[in-house]
A and B are shown apart, each in its own frame.
Chain A
Amino acid sequence: MIKLRLLLALTATVIAIHSAPAAAESIVLASTTSVEGSGLLARILPQFTAKTGITVNVVAQGTGKALDTARRGDADLLLVHDPEAEAQFMGEGHGIARRQIAWNDFVIVGPAADPAHVRGGHDSVAALKAIAAARATFVSRGDNSGTNAAELRLWKIAGLTPDMTKEKWYRDIGGGMGQALNAASAMDAYTLTDRGTWLSFDNKGSLVIAIEGDVRLINRYDVIELNPQKHAGAKLALAKVFANWLVSPEGQQAIGAYQVNGEKLFNPSADAPR
């Protein structure tokens, strides 16, 4: 009896998978991991799909990889957060329109024991200098993501370029934000994270926010529409509908309404700073 039911269930799933969403109207959105990992997209997409009938298939990657995915023609729209890499992408002629949809900030988190004595400060660059001087363990994404790029810019401003082949305290893990936080939590290390992922992250261990509120830690999220001359195969009209919705009052309201444990993760770009 149970056997039979199991077999029937299996058969049903095989049939289901093959008749699965024909998805007449769907786009592929290559996004940074933070908008997916923080749960933002899972919250706002149903609202958009209910209104327009367009399904947004999110492939969450670091910003560097997402831009490459779009360059190769495998995405219809981009949602990323690395101003320099984005400018390069636009300069290459891959994108036609780039609009800010939201912002929040990066924070430096570290072990509560605070071996580098930086906790409570607001100067990210001074903090990195102190961490390097104390040779306190620091986890780097090392994955060419927007957060990784922001981290490397801060090291550059600090006049330091930690080389993981020589510096044992600098750990390049080559992974996503969550992996970096898991690693930092396990190693009692400092790391740079976007606030959205940090707030929704559930394995903080002894990690606490060490540095926040530095203007250099502002984190902007942009939606980029692709150039039809380079990406004729992409579903650019549908992508535009979603991009327009993100910056519309309705989309902005949805972004601003997303909270985890009573804290707002993303500020709509209608609010300053831009």
Chain B
Amino acid sequence: MVGELGEFLRIVEISIGVSLAATAIAAAVSLPMGAALAIFPFRGRRLLVVLTNAFFGLPPVVVGLVLYLALSRSGPLGFLQLLYTPQAMVIAQAILAAPIMTALIHRASERAWARYGDELICDGASRLQAVPQILRIIRADLLTATLAGFGRTISEVGAVILVGGNIRGLTRTMTTAIALQTSQGELSLALALGAVLIGISISISATVFALAGSARTAGSDEA
């Protein structure tokens, strides 16, 4: 069923598009959140950090199920009519990627804050103003965190098959297509798709690292 090149490209396009969008949304939340967790002292911070780390292991199929029930037309968010759309997959993947990215950024921010925190405050920066400063210092770690988040999203199948429905040409991603090919006994085709998926993941990581090469050599020696 992935016989045609056009259909294959559409699957790749959906996979990458959904994963990039999810990673971008997760980054928008995780970057400030990870840094803030290191910079602002508040009650319950420890608990929040522990929870964030625990959600590393958030089972995708559970996230998918909860989101499915929420987005169902008879669920609380049913009026949004998002079930079985790429947008629903983006939401699911962003939820899965955000804790990983937040935890990684928090860890790097904590080290940077311990080292430069007093300095930044002495320079007259408020804690809020310190957030972007810290993120700038740890920019190499931001890359690692973002790639980790992207890796989680592009390789995920349990959540996207539930909320996306594996609809041909609309919500069929590489992972759900592999599951489908396997269920049709097309094992060699499934394996070939798997190889392409791995290839794409590697090229994206390599590209991002190459593009950020200069930032990496110039940035955060303290990581």
Binding site for B on A (CB under 8 A): 3, 6-7, 10, 13-14, 16-18, 20-21, 23, 28, 33, 37, 39, 42, 57-60, 72-74, 175-179, 181-182, 185, 200-204, 233
CB contacts (< 8 Å) of B210 on chain A: these are 3
Per-position binary interface string of chain B over residues 64-83, scored 1 when its CB falls under 8 Å from any chain A CB and 0 otherwise: 00000000111100100001
Bound CA–CA A197/B75 (angstroms): 34
Bound CA–CA A202/B21 (angstroms): 35
Which one of B21, B185, B204 contacts A181 once the chains associate, using CB atoms below 8 Å? B185
Binding site for A on B (CB under 8 A): 1, 12-14, 16-18, 20-21, 72-75, 78, 83-84, 86, 165-170, 180, 182-187, 203-204, 207, 210-211
Residue picked from B72, B169, B203, B211, most chain A C-beta under 10 Å: B169
**Minimum CB–CB distance for B34 against chain A, Å:** 24
Which one of A57, A179, A185, A233 contacts B73 once the chains associate, using CB atoms below 8 Å? A233
A74 touches B73 (CB 8 A): yes
Contact of A7 with B207 at beta-carbon distance under 8 Å, contacts A42-B1, A74-B72, A176-B183 already known: yes
**Minimum CB–CB distance for B155 against chain A, Å:** 17
Bound CA–CA A73/B1 (angstroms): 28
A-B CB contact pairs (8 Å), 16 listed: A10-B16, A10-B204, A17-B13, A20-B14, A28-B165, A57-B167, A60-B166, A72-B74, A72-B75, A73-B72, A74-B74, A74-B84, A181-B185, A182-B185, A201-B185, A203-B186
A204 touches B207 (CB 8 A): no
CB contacts (< 8 Å) of A39 on chain B: these are 1
B183 touches A13 (CB 8 A): no
A28 touches B183 (CB 8 A): no
Which one of A14, A21, A33, A72 contacts B20 once the chains associate, using CB atoms below 8 Å? A14
- Other contacts beyond A6-B203, A14-B16, A23-B170: 16, CB < 8 A: A10-B20, A13-B13, A14-B20, A16-B17, A21-B170, A33-B183, A37-B183, A42-B1, A57-B165, A59-B166, A74-B74, A178-B184, A182-B182, A200-B184, A202-B184, A202-B186
